[in-house]
């Protein structure tokens, strides 16, 4: 039996020690009518060789292609060291560091992760990770509503420039608390938050304003003005950011006069492969003032009985295993391994290396944008505002048909905005990262030109 080491002799000796004759007796406390005699619908076990063959066949049925899709998941080069180290059994098969003395490896890594993340965000503290960007942002909204004593309404302003799947996830995760999620439209010309529409909520007493940077369309928001406006009106600012972009763009703690209050987003660009959507990891950082409201695990530095440096899980009175129904969140297992991968990734590239990756991605997106908009009938939708590494084009043929044909030619051409944004029919959100060569960009432009 796979991974079960017991020989018949072992089993006989163990049954004898327990004082029973058969394995069935072990289950005698389960009512007879509830006991089953084996499972149906599960195939017979395979050998490792057979399963490896099967999985290669299944992997082969996937066609990742040359990928120009972003929309919240970004293809970046991950150095060989990252997953070699993360796959070490001591990291991969360790558990939550409840026995701190036997987990100093994991605990120190997480402390270093927290240090790097909060530096990147220019905020005071980071937690040890959440499930993903969307659920992390939902927790940030819950946190802001809890923490903002000046708010008179349990509500948050959510721009339509936020990733649509994040918007619906926030709804699913905050629904039970009757939190009003107020949609703020974007300007059709520039693709950023519509200030005039926002102004309507100046004295609304809502708890928070969410700002994405860059936003879902790749466009840069006026983060300083928005932050100052929100603070003037007693709202907390929740920054939903791409951590890679934060190596050269103004970071949440630097927004406006006082800085954003909470930062939440997805750390996937820092060392997590695309993997059809997961596992990635959510990050959450905040100002010192809000630390007791921060969900998730936190590692703190301390000393042992001999004064030697060590690390422990701390501030556990916020968490489910201590506070139970009164916990800030029910989160237990998070995405520690991915946070570990990102820590190694950030250490390898450093600020300079990551900035180069970000800038190369920006340059490639610019170049691709030029090439694609040179095709007859293709127009850039949002003008007048810079973008990071994604941009939106409108094409003269149905987006679904074009994307299907591109896929058949081995190119994943972009994200179709029409479903989530009725005003953006036949518009594609396209991304180019540092992984694309000039030849790749040229190929895409050529293929798209042929199809149009």
Q: Is 244 in contact with 269 (CB distance < 8 Å)? A: yes
Identity of the residue, 58 or 149, whose beta carbon is nearer to another protein in the bound complex:
58
Q: Is 345 left (phi over 0), alpha (psi -120 to 50) or beta?
A: alpha
Among 323, 370, 397, 446, the residue binding another protein under the rule CB under 8 A is 323
The pattern of x and - marking residues 332 through 371 that bind another protein according to CB under 8 A reads xxxxxxx-x---x-xxxxxxxxxxxx-xx-xx--x-----
Identity of the residue, 153 or 301, whose beta carbon is nearer to another protein in the bound complex:
301
Least Cβ distance, residue 150 to another protein (angstroms): 23
Among 297, 371, 436, 447, the residue binding another protein under the rule CB under 8 A is 297
Residue 124's nearest CA partner among 237, 267, 238, 260 is 260
- Footprint of another protein on 218-247 (CB under 8 A): 220, 223-224, 246-247
Least Cβ distance, residue 195 to another protein (angstroms): 16
Distance, in Å, from the CA atom of 216 to the CA atom of 451, rounded to the nearest integer, reads 26
The pattern of x and - marking residues 189 through 218 that bind another protein according to CB under 8 A reads ------------------------------
Q: Please provide residue 30's backbone torsions phi and psi, each rounded to the nearest 5 degrees.
A: -80, 125
Respond yes or no on whether the N-terminal peptide bond of residue 268 is cis (omega within 30° of 0).
no
Identity of the residue, 41 or 422, whose beta carbon is nearer to another protein in the bound complex:
41
Distant-in-sequence, close-in-space partners of 242: CB < 8 Å, separation ≥ 6: 74, 213, 214, 265, 266, 269, 388
Does residue number 373 form part of the binding site for another protein (CB under 8 A)?
no
Least Cβ distance, residue 389 to another protein (angstroms): 11
Distance, in Å, from the CA atom of 437 to the CA atom of 432, rounded to the nearest integer, reads 10
Q: Which stretch binds another protein (CB under 8 A): 189-197, 256-264, 327-335, 444-452?
A: 327-335
Distance, in Å, from the CA atom of 55 to the CA atom of 47, rounded to the nearest integer, reads 12
Q: Is 264 in contact with 137 (CB distance < 8 Å)? A: yes
- Footprint of another protein on 377-436 (CB under 8 A): 386, 403-404, 407, 412, 415, 434
Distant-in-sequence, close-in-space partners of 159: CB < 8 Å, separation ≥ 6: 183, 184, 185, 186, 193, 210, 211, 212, 215
Least Cβ distance, residue 228 to another protein (angstroms): 13
Identity of the residue, 11 or 374, whose beta carbon is nearer to another protein in the bound complex:
11
DSSP state of 24: G
Identity of the residue, 315 or 443, whose beta carbon is nearer to another protein in the bound complex:
315
Respond yes or no on whether the N-terminal peptide bond of residue 432 is cis (omega within 30° of 0).
no
Q: Would you call 279 exposed, middle or buried from its count of C-beta atoms within 10 A (0-12, 13-18, 19+)?
A: middle
Among 15, 197, 443, 452, the residue binding another protein under the rule CB under 8 A is 15
DSSP state of 212: E
Does residue number 331 form part of the binding site for another protein (CB under 8 A)?
yes
Q: Which stretch binds another protein (CB under 8 A): 150-158, 186-194, 201-209, 320-328?
A: 320-328
Instruction: Identify the residue whose tokens are 């608390």.
Output: 177
Does residue number 128 form part of the binding site for another protein (CB under 8 A)?
yes
Among 150, 172, 423, 442, the residue binding another protein under the rule CB under 8 A is 172
Q: Please list the residues that pair with 388 across neighbouring strands.
A: none
The pattern of x and - marking residues 54 through 73 that bind another protein according to CB under 8 A reads xxxxxxxxxxxx-x-x-xxx
Identity of the residue, 181 or 234, whose beta carbon is nearer to another protein in the bound complex:
181
Among 152, 232, 277, 370, the residue binding another protein under the rule CB under 8 A is 277
Does residue number 92 form part of the binding site for another protein (CB under 8 A)?
yes
Q: Which stretch binds another protein (CB under 8 A): 106-114, 146-154, 199-207, 439-447?
A: 106-114
Residue 415's nearest CA partner among 70, 67, 65 is 70
Distant-in-sequence, close-in-space partners of 111: CB < 8 Å, separation ≥ 6: 299, 300, 301, 311
Instruction: Identify the residue whose tokens are 């790097």.
Output: 116
Does residue number 21 form part of the binding site for another protein (CB under 8 A)?
no
Identity of the residue, 61 or 196, whose beta carbon is nearer to another protein in the bound complex:
61
Does residue number 293 form part of the binding site for another protein (CB under 8 A)?
no
Identity of the residue, 79 or 396, whose beta carbon is nearer to another protein in the bound complex:
79
Secondary structure class of 49 (helix, strand, coil): helix
Q: Please list the residues that pair with 312 across neighbouring strands.
A: 300
Distance, in Å, from the CA atom of 304 to the CA atom of 24, rounded to the nearest integer, reads 49
Identity of the residue, 129 or 148, whose beta carbon is nearer to another protein in the bound complex:
129
Does residue number 281 form part of the binding site for another protein (CB under 8 A)?
yes
Identity of the residue, 150 or 309, whose beta carbon is nearer to another protein in the bound complex:
309
């Amino acid at each position: 039996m796979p991974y079960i080491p017991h020989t018949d002799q072992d089993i006989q000796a163990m049954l004898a020690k327990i004082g029973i004759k058969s394995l069935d007796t072990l289950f005698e406390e389960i009512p007879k009518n509830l006991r089953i005699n084996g499972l149906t619908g599960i195939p017979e076990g395979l050998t490792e060789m057979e399963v490896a063959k099967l999985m290669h066949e299944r992997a082969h049925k996937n066609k990742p292609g040359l990928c120009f899709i972003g929309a919240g998941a970004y293809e970046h080069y991950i150095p060989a060291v990252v997953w070699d180290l993360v796959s070490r059994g001591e990291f991969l098969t360790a558990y939550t560091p409840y026995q701190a003395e036997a987990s100093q490896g994991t605990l120190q890594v997480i402390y270093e992760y927290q240090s790097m993340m909060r530096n990147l965000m220019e905020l005071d503290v980071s937690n040890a990770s959440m499930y993903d960007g969307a659920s992390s942002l939902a927790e940030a909204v819950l946190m802001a509503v809890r923490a903002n004593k000046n708010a008179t309404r349990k509500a948050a302003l959510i721009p339509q420039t936020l990733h649509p799947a994040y918007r619906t996830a926030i709804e699913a995760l905050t629904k039970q608390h009757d939190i009003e999620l107020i949609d703020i439209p974007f300007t059709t010309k520039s693709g950023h938050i519509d200030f005039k529409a926002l102004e309507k909520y100046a004295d609304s007493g809502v708890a928070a304003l969410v700002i994405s940077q860059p936003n879902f369309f790749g466009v840069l928001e006026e983060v300083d003005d928005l932050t100052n406006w929100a603070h003037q009106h007693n709202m907390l600012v929740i920054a939903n950011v791409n951590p890679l972009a934060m190596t050269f763009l103004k970071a949440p703690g630097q927004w406006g006069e006082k800085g954003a209050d909470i930062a939440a987003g997805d750390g996937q660009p820092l060392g997590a492969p695309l993997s059809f959507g997961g596992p990635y990891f959510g990050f959450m950082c905040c100002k010192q003032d809000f630390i007791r409201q921060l969900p998730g695990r936190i590692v703190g530095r301390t000393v042992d009985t001999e004064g030697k440096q060590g690390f422990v899980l701390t501030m556990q009175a916020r968490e489910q295993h201590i506070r139970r129904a009164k916990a800030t969140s029910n989160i237990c297992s998070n995405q520690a391994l991915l946070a570990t991968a990102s820590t190694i990734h950030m250490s390898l590239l450093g600020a300079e290396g990551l900035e180069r990756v970000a800038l190369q991605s920006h340059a490639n997106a610019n170049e691709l944008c030029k090439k694609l908009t040179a095709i007859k009938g293709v127009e850039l939708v949002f003008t007048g505002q810079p973008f990071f590494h994604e941009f939106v084009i409108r094409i003269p043929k149905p987006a679904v048909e074009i994307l299907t044909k591109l896929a058949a030619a081995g190119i994943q051409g972009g994200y179709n905005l029409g479903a989530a944004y009725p005003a953006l029919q036949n518009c594609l959100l396209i991304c180019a990262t540092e992984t694309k060569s000039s030849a790749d960009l040229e190929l895409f432009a050529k293929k798209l030109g042929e199809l149009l």
